[in-house]
Amino acid sequence: MFYPLSAVKTHPKTKIMAILNVTPDSFSDGGRLESVADALRAAEHALAVGAEILDIGGESTRPGAETVDIDAEIERVVPVIEAIHRRFPQALLSIDTRKSEVAKAALEAGAHWINDVSGLQYDPQMADVVAQQGATLVLMHSQGTPQTMQQNPEYPLGVVRSVFEFFEHQINSALQAGIARENLILDPGFGFGKTVAHNMELMRQLSTFHALDLPLLVGTSRKSFLTLGHRDIGVDEREALTAVSVAWAVQQGAAYVRVHDVETHAPVIRLAESLLAKEIATPELSPALSLAGA
């Protein structure tokens, strides 16, 4: 049943999931991490500047992306997960995959979360792997496949209601498979089978999903809908737009945000949370600086 809700649910702290793509063709950072050493350096930096979860992906799911063979995906992600787990044993690691075999291999290598962009729709064995391993599952909404999802997506009942009812159904499926409710996180799936208008409506009504009483993860980083259709704003120019969406997600009670540039967005979260708390924690200023800023 669909329950519209306008109240905002706040969290003590919105946590950052850092994106580490070990793919040659991701829409924003494909080919940037070409080796395990590159991934280790990126992980070290992300953790140092505020990331609490590292999301490692070996298959691009951008619009139009081709499916990667299971063995090739495992070959990309497992050495990276093993290396990060050895170097940073306390780091929380997530595997971004739709495939149960990849998820299982990643969990055995040291991952703790499975970030399934298909929301358990792609691989019927995924729920069993999550349940057996006791892993946390990010259950994301998507319509169609990467090859088809942006070909005139439609939601006759409205996008918010459709995503809400999808979550209700998939949560129930996850619970029936033996996944603990406390191990579920919901992601509305910005950019996955949605127009600019659909994405904007989901952003406006994020708080609606708190009726499901599960943490929300918001992933808007550098996505094209943030430009509102202005094609002259390239991927590398979308960080400021991402910051607006991150601040809005914090205001709407998101428990997690998934971003490429942790260093930029950690201060955005701190400022947004300070505004919501009506408290400002600032370092002591010298008298001269205080006067200069008066």
CA 83 to chain centroid = 22
pLDDT at 147: 59
Q: Which of 9, 258, 270, 278 is catalytic?
A: 258
**Residue ranges of domains in the chain:** 15-292
The order of strands in the sheet holding 217-218 is: 184-187, 136-140, 113-116, 92-96, 53-57, 15-21, 256-259, 217-218
pLDDT along the chain (294 residues), means of 10: 48 88 62 82 97 94 77 95 97 97 98 97 97 98 74 91 98 98 98 95 97 98 95 92 98 97 97 82 46 41
pLDDT at 153: 87
Q: Which of 62, 104, 223, 238 is catalytic?
A: 223
Q: Alpha carbon of 114 to those of 65, 103, 172, 186, 270: distances in Å? A: 20, 7, 18, 12, 27
* Cα–Cα dist 229/91, whole Å: 37
CATH superfamily of domain region 15-292? Dihydropteroate synthase-like (3.20.20.20)
pLDDT at 85: 98
99 is known as an active-site residue: no
9 is known as an active-site residue: no
pLDDT at 286: 42
pLDDT at 279: 53
pLDDT at 24: 74
